[in-house]
Chain A
């Protein structure tokens, strides 16, 4: 329950602060670069998720979907 309260608090603080952040459309030159994507190396990330999924007890967090495997 304390963890859930913390998450709600983070979302509220983040959400309330968002309106004062950001850029105008003509200030998106750097943000438009591939290297500024949240996941710029698609296949690297795909491989890494697969490797660590098969070697560690925990996974996920970045998104949903992607499929499972019976990895040993």
Chain B
């Protein structure tokens, strides 16, 4: 029995050694691991659609170093809710440029349908082996679209302990983002005006700086199980408004404000004001992940608890189960997410309470962006992957996403934020080149 066990361990050891010395995984500097994909994302009701081709390529270099490169192109079209809510009458809004307008039918949630953009994002990571047990990864990212540019650098140090069964990680990332909205920066909490009127603007562009710290531990538990725990601290300083989001201003009857400064005929002001968020935010998260190998199948589970000083907390559960078929695999996916509302999230602004008769908003901050509301998201997905040769794989996945705003209990049903339903379709082809 003992001999059989030793023989088994010897063959395992030989297998591992052979695997380590195989050309595909050794630092030969001659082969790229390439993963290419095309993603289609489509929301219902004429909302956002996206087409995203992406390619990732990584290659081992000499002395244990490695380089990883990625390119993503993101073409977006469609409509997105502007923050005002549905009323029993048609509503007309001015486009961000101020040169046009769009009208929402009575009973429909107002959406800005002038939204279209193409984003190009590139990134590179260089991993250096500092010594036998430690590595440093330096990264750079650039993402650019019509009204937004993001430039970031990052560094992650990882050191193995305990016979390489424990890895401690520390990371730091800095991002500098430039926001240059169509038509300029809306003046915070000031009214939207009618088409071709002088816009309430406060400059052309602004910036924000994002700093993220991370410490983590990864532990091999046994031959079939690995766990990871990360703690992240993020600080964001600068412009954090969505420049295209507004809030409805209503009178005590619940109708859109139409008197005084909101008398559109005499002032040119519409009964909507641009949102305002704090210019600083501290974000924290605790993240746990485990991967476990059953006889053939693999389960990948993660949980994240998040909290910040905008009073938002969230819980994210993510589970993927890889059923190994003969050659191919099938991977169901379920993700559940719930968040509380930002402290300044509000459905509307009430004239006389939140807004005085001169049109001054009496709140420090206000936003009706549905993404800052109490909400939950459920994702169900399925992926199928099949090997196409020794080092290549073709895979396809389909996912359905439903996002529901859950704090509309005090809001009339006609004004409630509609559910967001989205479908994701993706095809991947990975190969060694």
Residues 18-38 of chain A, each 1 if its beta carbon lies under 8 Å from chain B, else 0: 110111111111111101111
What number of residue pairs across chains A and B have CB atoms under 8 A from each other? 224
Assess the A32–B214 pair: CB atoms within 8 A: no
CB-CB under 8 A from A57, the residues of chain B are 310, 312, 314, 339, 342, 371-372
Q: In whole angstroms, what is the CA distance A14 to B308 when docked?
A: 24
Assess the A47–B166 pair: CB atoms within 8 A: no
CB-CB under 8 A from B143, the residues of chain A are 67-69
Assess the A70–B147 pair: CB atoms within 8 A: yes
CB-CB under 8 A from B230, the residues of chain A are 61-63
Assess the A70–B148 pair: CB atoms within 8 A: yes
For A18, A30, A61, the residue with the greatest tally of chain B CB atoms inside 10 Å of its CB is A61
Q: Given A25-B16, A72-B115, decide whether A31 and B220 contact each other with a Cβ distance below 8 A.
A: yes
**Which residues of chain B in 25-40 are interfacial with respect to chain A, using CB atoms and an 8 Å cutoff?**
35-37, 39
Chain B min CB distance to A43 (Å): 5
Contact of B426 with A by CB under 8 A: yes
Assess the B121–A47 pair: CB atoms within 8 A: no
Contact of B332 with A by CB under 8 A: no
Chain A min CB distance to B273 (Å): 19
CB-CB under 8 A from A28, the residues of chain B are 16, 223
Assess the B56–A60 pair: CB atoms within 8 A: no
Contact of B159 with A by CB under 8 A: no
Q: Given A7-B231, A62-B287, A63-B214, decide whether A68 and B175 contact each other with a Cβ distance below 8 A.
A: yes
For A22, A43, A64, A68, the residue with the greatest tally of chain B CB atoms inside 10 Å of its CB is A64
Residues 279-299 of chain B, each 1 if its beta carbon lies under 8 Å from chain A, else 0: 000011111010101000010
The count of chain B contact residues (Cβ–Cβ below 8 Å) is: 108
CB-CB under 8 A from B161, the residues of chain A are 18
Q: In whole angstroms, what is the CA distance A44 to B231 when docked?
A: 23
Overall SS of chain B's interface: strand
Assess the A18–B16 pair: CB atoms within 8 A: no
Residues 48-71 of chain A, each 1 if its beta carbon lies under 8 Å from chain B, else 0: 001110011110111111111110
| CB < 8 Å neighbour of B148 from A52, A58, A63, A69 | A69
Assess the A72–B80 pair: CB atoms within 8 A: yes
Contact of B75 with A by CB under 8 A: no
| CB < 8 Å neighbour of B223 from A18, A19, A27, A62 | A27
| CB < 8 Å neighbour of B165 from A21, A36, A41, A60 | A21
Contact of B48 with A by CB under 8 A: yes
CB-CB under 8 A from B175, the residues of chain A are 67-68
Assess the A35–B152 pair: CB atoms within 8 A: no
Q: In whole angstroms, what is the CA distance A55 to B148 when docked?
A: 17
CB-CB under 8 A from B403, the residues of chain A are 55-56
Q: In whole angstroms, what is the CA distance A4 to B413 when docked?
A: 40
Assess the A60–B141 pair: CB atoms within 8 A: no
Chain B min CB distance to A50 (Å): 8
Assess the A44–B152 pair: CB atoms within 8 A: no
Q: In whole angstroms, what is the CA distance A64 to B154 when docked?
A: 7
Q: Given A23-B222, A57-B312, decide whether A29 and B150 contact each other with a Cβ distance below 8 A.
A: no
Chain A min CB distance to B112 (Å): 9
Q: Which of B7-15, B99-107, B193-201, B262-270 contacts A (4 or more CB under 8 A)?
A: B7-15
Q: In whole angstroms, what is the CA distance A15 to B74 when docked?
A: 41
**Which residues of chain B in 301-324 are interfacial with respect to chain A, using CB atoms and an 8 Å cutoff?**
304, 306-308, 310, 312, 314, 316, 322
Assess the A19–B162 pair: CB atoms within 8 A: yes
CB-CB under 8 A from A32, the residues of chain B are 16, 19
Q: Given A3-B307, A11-B217, A64-B171, decide whether A51 and B41 contact each other with a Cβ distance below 8 A.
A: yes
Q: Given A27-B12, A35-B298, A44-B426, decide whether A65 and B37 contact each other with a Cβ distance below 8 A.
A: no
| CB < 8 Å neighbour of B232 from A27, A41, A60, A69 | A60
Q: In whole angstroms, what is the CA distance A21 to B166 when docked?
A: 9
Q: Given A44-B397, A60-B232, decide whether A23 and B244 contact each other with a Cβ distance below 8 A.
A: no
For B228, B298, B312, the residue with the greatest tally of chain A CB atoms inside 10 Å of its CB is B298
Chain A min CB distance to B80 (Å): 5
Q: Given A25-B16, A30-B224, A67-B152, decide whether A61 and B306 contact each other with a Cβ distance below 8 A.
A: yes
4 closest A-B pairs by CB:
A22-B165, A70-B148, A65-B154, A26-B13
- Given A61-B230, A64-B213, 20 other A-B contacts at CB below 8 A? A11-B231, A14-B217, A21-B219, A21-B221, A23-B223, A25-B163, A29-B223, A30-B223, A47-B52, A55-B377, A57-B312, A57-B371, A57-B372, A60-B306, A61-B286, A61-B316, A64-B154, A66-B152, A68-B175, A70-B148
12 contacts between A and B (CB under 8 A): A10-B229, A21-B166, A26-B16, A27-B223, A44-B383, A50-B72, A55-B401, A58-B339, A62-B287, A65-B139, A65-B171, A67-B175
